Chain A
Amino acid sequence: MTEVRILPYSHVVGQTDLRRCLELAFVAPGIGGVLVSGERGTAKSTTVRSFSLMAYGELPVTLPINATEDRVLGGWSIDALMAGKTRQQAGLLEVAGERGLLYIDEVNLLDDHLVNIILDVTSTNVLVVHREGVDRPTIPVKFTLVGTMNPEEGWLRPQLLDRFGLLVPVSAETAVEQRHKILRTVLRFEEEVTRPGSSWLAEGAERDGEIRERLERARARVNEVEIPDEILELCAQISARFKVAGHRGEKVMALGAKARAALEGHRVVTPDDIHAVAEFALAHRLPEAVYGESIKWTDEDRDLLKKIITG
């Protein structure tokens, strides 16, 4: 295979919210995943791949929309069968469980039967394979699910939407300065990949290494971060005031805040941490989103959140 060259994570321009949410999900895998929803041409996929290369050292396990069930669940190796042997071939879900991240580009275009399989696995953390003579009843599988999508082509089923701990809306950069910076960075990257021993790429790799170390340190200490009772109460209060469906929203909010505190080097979660993650944990769990009307985090929502947090 031709070598895949992806822009170093530390050279990605903008996308602050997206990068922050990916980092939170890495530090606290219990968050369950990140859904990235945004306009065309906003570097959603590039950012996710860059993040995976930085954090995991390899491209994410990717479930393409053209996948067939045998590759998602696993089955027999066809090549081995043709040679008269039997050898099982792990499916993408199992491989993602080993590596920690499953990425689905254009997740809203995924066929329904594949969505059902993913829902089964993410809700139980167990993969069950009974097909074509393969019998593997309990394969423990746990991964961070990351999906990118363009909402112009339709939304996700509420059940799948709920499986994503955080939702990040991504919009195109409109500031001229930022657009120039994006152009310069991409063109520079395309030039630098043709230069052996590029110092620009080496600098990116070095900075990626530093980010990875920071994330791993945060991940190692996230369980030591304390969440005071009043913060847990605040999470419940926010969920109630926003009429959030189910309890996953407040759980993710608390976990996200904990991850943020760990990243900031704090030992105790503060209302600021809650304020920073609430939008991403709740926007897709508001009643309007659950009933398929719209997913928005409005100025009124921002004001209400601020009011609840400041008391």
Chain B
Amino acid sequence: MAMSPASRVRHALACAALDPRLRGVLLFDLEPTLLPDVGHWLGSLLGNPGLFTLGASTGSDTMWIGLTSRPTFGVRPGPLVDRSDALALTVMVPDLAKLSLTGRRAAITLLDADVAHLERDGLSVTWVPRTRWVAVCARADAGRIPPHLLDRFPLRVDASGLRADLGPPPDKWRRALARGRLATVPDEVVLGILDHVPKGASGARRDLALARIGRALATLDGRTETTDTDIGEAAALLRLPFPRGRGPVNALGDGATLGRRDRGGGDRSWRQGGEKASPPRADELNVAVPAPAEPLAPGTATPADPLGPYPEDDSEPERDPESLRSRAARHSSSRPSHGRPIGSRPGAFGDLAVVATIVGAAPLQARRCEDHYSLPPHPLHLIAPDLKIHRRSAEPARLLVLVLDHTCRAGWDWLGALAPYLQWAYTGRAGICVIEVGAAGAPSELRAQRFSASSLLDPRVARALERPAGRCTPLAHGLDLAVETLRHRLHLGRVPADDVLLVILTDGRGNIPLRASAAGELPDHVGREGVEDALTVARELSTMKRIHTVVLDPGPRPGAYLTHALAEACGARLQQGGDPR
């Protein structure tokens, strides 16, 4: 079987259209300009061409409520609330990593829920969610998305090669959708499902997703019973690794095996539905083929496909801590309105508090329109002072990035040297990112480790400050992580640039080159390469504007020039460890 990108996406969308429990579709590395076509394609299968796009700036009110003038002016449920008398809508998320906080919270609430509730602005609605979601995510960004959110998407397919439009959905699929009755899943088929799910997968969602996709594929094929083959094809659609003993087909070597054989021996290529698959690419050859092997114990799967469905299992977390929570009102990042006007913007009422506005104006209607309640229903009489906007809590405004080189700590009370910076972070309620270099017990001694915390009080920070030293000093990698973190945070605009402090505690003796950290292998000979790499990365830091950088030096020792060189390279202030100012 060779699955073209178009085939993968078409099958995923058709499964989602068929079974509302598969309503979350995540397309990895889809060319963003193709998303509207993909959305329309799914909308045509659902019979509802309506699309609703959720982006980085979509706010709560836009999603949850709308205004109506019939029969009277008022508030009605917004687009994310399914009406029982309407066909399911398609929601499109062009970039899941950049989805607004309110959008993420909406996805958590609606995807994979049996029932949803809206309790906003006078509305109280309970409904069974059916809205389909099609989200795009760059595989490289998986670490920036909370696993809690990713976990809500049961259908995840690689769409990196998709170029052309998807073509019309086959009539066969339309007939299956019209019938609406899903195939059954016999017990003996259920028994084989767990063989495909990677070891360590938490919860039942992945097991269930595979079962439901297999069932949907059988239904789309016009059958009433799901087979092992359908489950295998579902696994191949997601690009799950093969259970041991069920190897990939060498499609180039044997064209006859491009299709898969079901129990009846019939050839079921992914050309079904009239689509012609393109010749397989090399990276498309690894497809799972159910063989007459005995059921295997879970955990015997081969290594994960790099284009597999669960990149978060192998990604380093790069997201903000507690990234689904609203920020409490802390240090305000808002500034008074200074400076001379240089133009105008539509703004103040883009964040209109609809209910507060209506409630405030309602008692005055009779006064403003004598016959307001006796005339046929007509809109409210509003004047400018009626309009109210939301008062919103502020984002934390400071970020402290700490690079801790544990291998320079011997005999040095770095807590004393760090105290002023920790105090700055505490009093300003700053977010913290800690990058540990050369920590004992690190998963890989050739690499630095990083974690983010919402405040200094996170117990991981104290534990990091007390951690003993290991043997290696991957300083270049630690600085590289600092560069990446700062770029990410500044790029997202979550932190005001003038409130970012980078503190590097090191003696500058990096002994692991960057390439060794990347490869995870210790080179035969290092020389000055580790130090030079650290200086090269430090120069990148110097190009980042509006960041205050401090290098904390452990004190007099041979090779003390290294910290001078490092401070100079990254444009930092050099401070002796015993001299906090």
State whether the Cβ of A106 lies closer than 8 Å to any Cβ in chain B.
yes
Q: A176: which B residues are within 8 A, CB to CB?
A: 194, 297-298
List, in ascending order, chain A residues with CB within 8 A of B321's CB: 154
Kindly state the separation between the CA atoms of A96 and B366 in the bound complex, as whole angstroms. 36
Stretch from B26-34, B69-77, B476-484, B573-581 contacting the other chain: B69-77
Chain A: interface residue count, which band? 35 or more
With A78-B358, A108-B325, A150-B148 in contact, do A62 and B117 touch (Cβ < 8 Å)? yes
Closest CB in chain A relative to B206 CB, distance in Å: 7
Are A292 and B146 interface neighbours, CB within 8 A? Answer: no
Proximity bits, B194-205, A CB within 8 Å = 1, else 0: 100000001111
Interface size on B, as a range, is 35 or more
CA distance A279 to B508 in the complex (A): 49
| Interchain CB contact under 8 A, B122 and A71 | yes
B487 at the interface (CB under 8 A from A): no
Segment 315-344 of B: residues with Cβ below 8 Å from A: 321-326, 328-329
A-B contact pairs, 29 of them (CB 8 A): A1-B126, A41-B151, A42-B203, A45-B113, A59-B115, A64-B109, A65-B105, A66-B118, A66-B119, A70-B121, A75-B359, A78-B75, A81-B362, A84-B366, A84-B372, A92-B119, A152-B146, A153-B146, A153-B148, A154-B454, A172-B202, A172-B204, A180-B190, A183-B193, A183-B208, A186-B204, A187-B185, A191-B184, A194-B182
**Are A66 and B109 interface neighbours, CB within 8 A?**
yes
**B359 and A78 contacting across the interface, CB-CB below 8 Å:** yes
Instruction: Name the 3 nearest CB pairs between A and B, nearest first.
Output: A41-B203, A78-B122, A41-B205
Is B115 a contact partner of A4 (Cβ separation < 8 A)? yes
Is A46 close to B, CB under 8 A?
yes
The answer to the question of A272 belonging to the interface, with a C-beta cut-off of 8 Å to chain B, is no
Interface membership of A166, Cβ < 8 A = no
| B328 and A81 form a contact (CB under 8 A) | no
B147 at the interface (CB under 8 A from A): yes
Q: Is the CB of B147 within 8 A of A179?
A: no
Residue of B nearest to A4 (CB): B115
Q: Which of B120, B122, B203, B380 contacts A66 (CB 8 A)?
A: B120
The docked-state distance in angstroms from the alpha carbon of A113 to that of B507 is 46
B359 near A71 with CB under 8 A, answer no
A219 to B: closest C-beta gap in Å: 26
- CB pair B190–A183 under 8 Å, yes or no, is yes
- A160→B457 CA distance, assembly (Å): 18
A12–chain B nearest beta-carbon distance, Å: 12
A79 interfacial contact with B, CB 8 Å: yes
B211 touches A109 (CB 8 A): no
Least Cβ–Cβ distance between B152 and chain A, in angstroms: 9
A41 to B148, CA, bound (A): 9
Q: Scoring B residues 170 to 212 as 1 if CB is less than 8 Å from chain A, else 0, what string do you get?
A: 0000000000011011010011011000000011111110010
Assess the B114–A45 pair: CB atoms within 8 A. Answer: yes
Q: Does residue B285 face the partner (Cβ distance < 8 Å to A)? A: no
CB distance from A264 to the nearest CB of B (A): 30
A290 beta carbon closer than 8 Å to chain B:
no
- List the A residue with the shortest CB-CB distance to B75: A78
Is A184 in contact with B187, judged by CB distance below 8 angstroms?
yes
Let me know if B355 and A70 touch, CB within 8 A. Answer: yes
Cα A70 to Cα B121 in complex, Å, equals 6
Chain A residue with Cβ nearest B199: A174
A150 to B122, CA, bound (A): 29
A interface residues, Cβ below 8 angstroms from B: 1-6, 39-43, 45-46, 49, 59, 62-68, 70-72, 75-79, 81-84, 89, 92, 105-106, 108-109, 111-112, 132, 150, 152-154, 172-173, 176, 179-180, 182-184, 186-187, 190-191, 194, 292-294
Q: 8 Å CB contacts to A: which residues of B48-94?
A: 60, 64, 72-75, 82, 84
Assembly CA distance A7 to B100 (angstroms) = 33
Q: Give Cα distance in the complex from A289 to B110, angstroms.
A: 31
Q: How far is the CB of B361 from chain A (nearest CB, A)?
A: 9
Q: How far is the CB of B210 from the nearest CB of chain A, in Å?
A: 9
Residue in chain B with minimal CB distance to A178: B204
In the complex, residue of chain A having the shortest beta-carbon distance to the beta carbon of B61: A68
A81 vs B321: C-alpha distance when bound (angstroms) = 42
Query: For A1, what are the chain B residues with a Cβ–Cβ distance below 8 Å?
Result: 84, 125-128
The reply to whether B362 and A64 form a contact with Cβ atoms under 8 Å apart is no
A237 to chain B, nearest CB (A): 29
A145 to chain B minimum Cβ distance, whole angstroms, is 16
> Which residues does chain B contribute within 8 Å of A182, judged by CB atoms?
204, 207
Given contacts A40-B203, A153-B148, A182-B204, contact A111 B326 (CB under 8 A): yes
In the bound complex, do residue B72 and residue A82 qualify as a contact, i.e. CB atoms below 8 Å apart?
Answer: yes
> Which residues of chain B are within 8 angstroms of A2 by Cβ–Cβ distance?
82, 84, 127-128, 130
Bound CA span A1–B81, Å: 11
Q: Are B119 and A67 in contact (CB under 8 A)?
A: yes
